Structure 1
Amino acid sequence: MRNLKEILNLADEIVFTQTGQHLDDLQAAILQGTLERKGYKEIAKDFGYSDSSVRNTGAELWRILSEELGEEINKSNFLSTMERLQNSNVFAHNVTAHNVTDSFNICGSAKYSPEIPNFSQFTNQETSNSEPSQTPHQDLSEMPELGAFYNRTSELETLKTWILEQRCHLMTITGISGIGKTTLAVQLVHQIKDEFEYVLWYSLAPSPTFAEFQKQLIQFFSESETVDLSRNNRQTLSLIKYLQKYRCLVVLDDVHHLFSSGELAGKYQPGYEEYRLFFKQVEQLSHQSCLLLIGWEPAVVLPKVSPQKTAIFALQLTGLDMTATEAILRDYGLSEMEKYSALIPHYQGNPLWLQSVALQIQELGESVTDLLPDDTILLPEDLKEVLALQFNRLSTIEKQLLFLLVKESTPVNLAKLLENSPIPALDLRNALQSLLRRGLIEKIDNLYMVYPVLRQYITQKPGFSQKPGF
């Protein structure tokens, strides 16, 4: 095995032979990062360069190496190619006559050092003259850190079965804010990422246009793809073609940012309809990849057939069980569960809601619960802000329907809603369906009800009245 300095010496000699110039700081940083299995974003962050400069310099560097060696060189096969050249003594006589300086002056906190340990830290693969290594390409820089994971084992196993065994094309995880969608997805990615050639976590929170979204994903796929790098034969595939060519896992978080506020669930913003067409492509065309969509509301309409007959799978998360709920409270130092036996059910097993309330109890002192009636629902300000984000997205009809449901003292069926509501029957049915898709109401035995926390939030809003009508 060779160490990092020897690999960079060899690469420097190849570049010098082709260009008459030695590796500069940025080129050396890209090669070092490549050997450490880092993506361009991580290299840029580690060494203090912009993403664009790293990508552009990287593309030019692979072109130089490819032209000099007469074969295609890229991020995925650079390591195996250098090992093969060293073992076959190609360029060996030149390297002994010329060596690069002992240290590249790489900008940023991390710098190249000739004392880096043996090259084996970068790979466990044996050196061979076979095809380039198929190391997965992963960009998880936008994926949140894996936090506490509270008893979502069954949901996790279901998702793994859908993706790895049933090979679903398109999967959605939906649910009200704070229910644990992203946490579950992060755990899932950690467990299955090595099953894919390409893995990408991408947040839609900035609401990128489809053209911007497609451009960034194609850049991710194409930067390390083996293609003809000669100047006249470069080509870029369409986004769906990459999903067909490779086994890819693409996670799109915060999908609800594609939808219009003030409309029923899942209505795309003007100018964003191309996303729907792309999701339809992912669903219907033949490919080996999986697109995972995470958000407050579903981005696709599920066909009314069994999962075995469709490429779309959906999971709407509900609350945690009592064991997991108690574990959250214990994590916040609230160990006497008997004090909270009446309080806990109000929060429907929502991790974020429970954490907010637990923190308030912890800061005020556990004795605060002794002064509260059993039916009290604590509503800290940070929790109210979370609820406001979802409530303010609702259409006028959905808000009217929520007000109507809140005024009912018990769960109510559709017939009674139609009888008591001034909302036209067709609009009421559509609003009811939309609220269910958003996870803001619960349906049990054809009876509909508002979650206690949301009920408390609505009754505190200015202008709310218990009187009939709106």
Structure 2
Amino acid sequence: MNSKLAFTWEKAKQLAEQIVFNNLQEHLKDIEIDVLRGSWEGLTYEKMAEQYHMSVSYLRGDVGYYLWRKLSEALGEEVTKSNFKGALERAGERQLPPHIDSNVKEPKSPLAELAFPDGSVPLGSPFYVNRDALESVCYETVLKPASLIRIKAPKLMGKTSLLTRILAHAESQNYQTVYLDLSSVERAILTNLDKFVLWLCFMVGRKLKLENRLKDYWETEILGSNDNCTVYFEEYLLPQINCPLVLGLDEVDRIFPYNQVVEDFFGMLRSWHEKGKISEQWKQLRLVIAHSTEVYIPLDMNQSPFNAGLPVTLLEFDHKQVLNLAHLHGLNWNDIQVKELMNIVGGHPYLLRLAMYKVYTTKATLKQLLQDASTEAGIYSSHLRWYLEMLHSEEAQGLKEALKKVVISLEPVELDSMQIYKLHSMGLVQQQDNQVMPRCNLYREYFRRVL
């Protein structure tokens, strides 16, 4: 009885995210978490559609269908909207350590609740590794009028972790902040400029807890999508908050493939940045955008935000940072052990943290872990399988053969520019001038075998 009372929404959410990532190597999307919470609260899809301003068919037929299918696969049993609570609670009873249900509070070290490294590093976590002076530069820049910060790095390299810290710093200065993750936006919105900027205006207003007044400002007969969006920010959103606003856009390369949207949208962002140089109103807006690769659609240099503002490129951790991270995990490693791990995974933040998490929590030896690393029995099997499935998907046409060339060659190889863009944004390769090589030996060994 006590365990049932203790099983809260927050624990259910955390457990669902962890189990899905552990088994499927993917994160739950924001809208999937919204549907999960709505289901937890007993809402029908109709009520959720009304609350989230989306169609019932989309929530039930797309989001709900894939959400319950993911949980079914991850939990190993049939999961539906009506039985997911019990399924998650049973999984929690199998996985959670005894102290979760204990009423006795015992002193715990920071490592006693070491979280699985399944995404961005939470604010306040001791496991966030500062990248020399990079954070300080970003913190100073975001406080400047009309500033623009561009964070670029492949997947799982720490973009979101840095982005959220920049927003948190701005909040500490009494700025308003809005974080939007474009990876969770449905394709029907991303491929239509008018729908996309309407979504942007609506979501920013909602995050700021402002009344939706789009109907009062949207003039479709005279103004285009960009002008309407600009007017809504200029005449309604910015004046309403009367303080600086930092807009953080994560995964903006999600719209790179859509020519009909990318040019106009990024042109609008650049125009906002330029307006801030002369307009007191637009000086209040600061932009932070994160993306995995360069935009591969040619943009007018005067209309692109990708040649303005502060460029921030996240590199892999160096030897000293990895050694420090190991010590934060309670591992008494020396230079030799750090070199052994980096020889397999390089300075890749996620791959490093996963190895350290496993060594600390399972007491496995680093030697055994590295021997199995590129096999189906290794700790990276789910991560590697996810990549393999991506390479076999229709969206990745031609990438499988391109990567095969890279992993079987001992020298950097030349590829088609689009293949380089896509493989680099996925985090599978690193560039050397106009050539590429595997990002780490783990990827070389695994894909040389399976491809």
Q: TM-score range by the shorter chain?
A: 0.5 to 0.7
Q: CA deviation at 1:283?
A: 0.7
Q: Which of 337, 351, 354 is the equivalent residue of 1:353?
A: 351
Does the Cα contact within 8 Å between 2:293 and 2:424 map onto a contact in 1? no
Map of 1:317 onto structure 2: 314
Amino acid at match of 2:185: S
Q: Which of 239, 243, 246 is the equivalent residue of 2:229?
A: 239
State the distance in 2 between where 1:320 and 1:282 align: 31
Q: Which of 153, 166, 179 is the equivalent residue of 2:157?
A: 179
Alignment of 1:142-153 (within 5 A): 145-146=122-123, 147=125, 148-153=127-132
Q: Please list the CA deviations of residues 215-241 of structure 1 after superposition, one character each: whole Å capped at 9, or x if unmatched.
A: 5236437854899xxxxxx93464323
User: What is the DSSP-based 3-state SS (H/G/I as helix, E as strand, rest coil) of the residue aligned with 1:200?
Assistant: strand
Does the Cα contact within 8 Å between 1:250 and 1:290 map onto a contact in 2? yes
Q: Cα–Cα, structure 1 residues 155 and 346, in superposed 2: closer, same or farther, change >3 Å?
A: farther
Q: Cα–Cα, structure 1 residues 300 and 459, in superposed 2: closer, same or farther, change >3 Å?
A: closer
Map of 2:261 onto structure 1: 274
Does the Cα contact within 8 Å between 2:430 and 2:436 map onto a contact in 1? yes
Does the Cα contact within 8 Å between 1:181 and 1:294 map onto a contact in 2? yes
Does the Cα contact within 8 Å between 1:179 and 1:352 map onto a contact in 2? yes
TM-score by length of 2: 0.54
Does the Cα contact within 8 Å between 2:145 and 2:286 map onto a contact in 1? no
Q: CA deviation at 1:352?
A: 1.1
Does the Cα contact within 8 Å between 2:301 and 2:307 map onto a contact in 1? no
Map of 1:155 onto structure 2: 134
User: What is the DSSP-based 3-state SS (H/G/I as helix, E as strand, rest coil) of the residue aligned with 2:133?
Assistant: helix
Q: Cα–Cα, structure 1 residues 52 and 379, in superposed 2: closer, same or farther, change >3 Å?
A: closer
Give the structure with higher Rg (CA).
1
State the distance in 1 between where 2:444 and 2:301 align: 31
Q: Please list the CA deviations of residues 278-315 of structure 1 after superposition, one character each: whole Å capped at 9, or x if unmatched.
A: 2211112413323323343445867779x999535443
More helix by share: 2
Does the Cα contact within 8 Å between 2:170 and 2:176 map onto a contact in 1? no
Does the Cα contact within 8 Å between 1:342 and 1:374 map onto a contact in 2? no
Alignment of 1:394-405 (within 5 A): 395-405=396-406
Amino acid at match of 2:380: P
Is the aligned partner of 1:296 residue 2:292?
yes
State the distance in 2 between where 1:339 and 1:226 align: 56
Q: Please list the CA deviations of residues 428-453 of structure 1 after superposition, one character each: whole Å capped at 9, or x if unmatched.
A: 23323444455532233665311123
Q: Cα–Cα, structure 1 residues 155 and 398, in superposed 2: closer, same or farther, change >3 Å?
A: farther
State the distance in 1 between where 2:229 and 2:154 align: 30
Amino acid at match of 1:279: F
Map of 2:58 onto structure 1: none
Map of 1:344 onto structure 2: 342
Q: Cα–Cα, structure 1 residues 353 and 373, in superposed 2: closer, same or farther, change >3 Å?
A: closer
Q: Please list the CA deviations of residues 365-415 of structure 1 after superposition, one character each: whole Å capped at 9, or x if unmatched.
A: 444517967998965224325544764676333332221111111334x4x
Does the Cα contact within 8 Å between 1:255 and 1:294 map onto a contact in 2? yes
Is the aligned partner of 1:164 residue 2:143?
yes
State the distance in 2 between where 1:316 and 1:184 align: 11
Q: Cα–Cα, structure 1 residues 194 and 151, in superposed 2: closer, same or farther, change >3 Å?
A: closer
Map of 1:106 onto structure 2: none
Is the aligned partner of 1:334 residue 2:331?
yes
Q: CA deviation at 1:195?
A: 5.1
Once superposed, what is the RMSD of the aligned Cα atoms? 4.5
User: What is the DSSP-based 3-state SS (H/G/I as helix, E as strand, rest coil) of the residue aligned with 1:460?
Assistant: helix
Map of 2:442 onto structure 1: 453
Alignment of 1:18-417 (within 5 A): 145-146=122-123, 147=125, 148-165=127-144, 167-169=146-148, 171-193=149-171, 198-208=176-186, 209=189, 210=196, 213-214=199-200, 216-217=202-203, 219-220=205-206, 224=210, 235-236=216-217, 238-244=228-234, 246=238, 247-256=244-253, 258-259=254-255, 266-268=256-258, 273-274=260-261, 276-285=263-272, 286=275, 287-288=282-283, 289-298=285-294, 310-337=307-334, 338-362=336-360, 365-367=363-365, 369=367, 380-385=380-385, 387-388=387-388, 391=391, 395-412=396-413, 414=414
User: What is the DSSP-based 3-state SS (H/G/I as helix, E as strand, rest coil) of the residue aligned with 2:327?
Assistant: helix
State the distance in 1 between where 2:309 and 2:399 align: 27
State the distance in 2 between where 1:291 and 1:175 align: 17
Unaligned runs of 5+ in 1: 1-40, 57-142, 228-233, 260-265, 418-427, 465-470
Task: Give the length in aligned residue pairs.
Answer: 302
- Greater Cα offset, 215-224 or 394-403: 215-224
User: What is the DSSP-based 3-state SS (H/G/I as helix, E as strand, rest coil) of the residue aligned with 1:205?
Assistant: helix
Amino acid at match of 2:355: V
Amino acid at match of 1:267: P
Q: Please list the CA deviations of residues 188-212 of structure 1 after superposition, one character each: whole Å capped at 9, or x if unmatched.
A: 1111235575321122233241166
State the distance in 2 between where 1:375 and 1:222 align: 45
Does the Cα contact within 8 Å between 1:342 and 1:375 map onto a contact in 2? no
TM-score by length of 1: 0.52
Does the Cα contact within 8 Å between 1:175 and 1:296 map onto a contact in 2? yes
Amino acid at match of 1:317: L
Map of 1:425 onto structure 2: none
State the distance in 1 between where 2:372 and 2:50 align: 61
State the distance in 2 between where 1:316 and 1:399 align: 26
Q: Cα–Cα, structure 1 residues 347 and 144, in superposed 2: closer, same or farther, change >3 Å?
A: closer
Amino acid at match of 2:157: I
Q: Please list the CA deviations of residues 7-40 of structure 1 after superposition, one character each: whole Å capped at 9, or x if unmatched.
A: xxxxxxxxxxxxxxxxxxxxxxxxxxxxxxxxxx
Does the Cα contact within 8 Å between 1:173 and 1:295 map onto a contact in 2? yes
State the distance in 1 between where 2:173 and 2:404 align: 47
State the distance in 2 between where 1:392 and 1:290 align: 39
User: What is the DSSP-based 3-state SS (H/G/I as helix, E as strand, rest coil) of the residue aligned with 1:235?
Assistant: helix
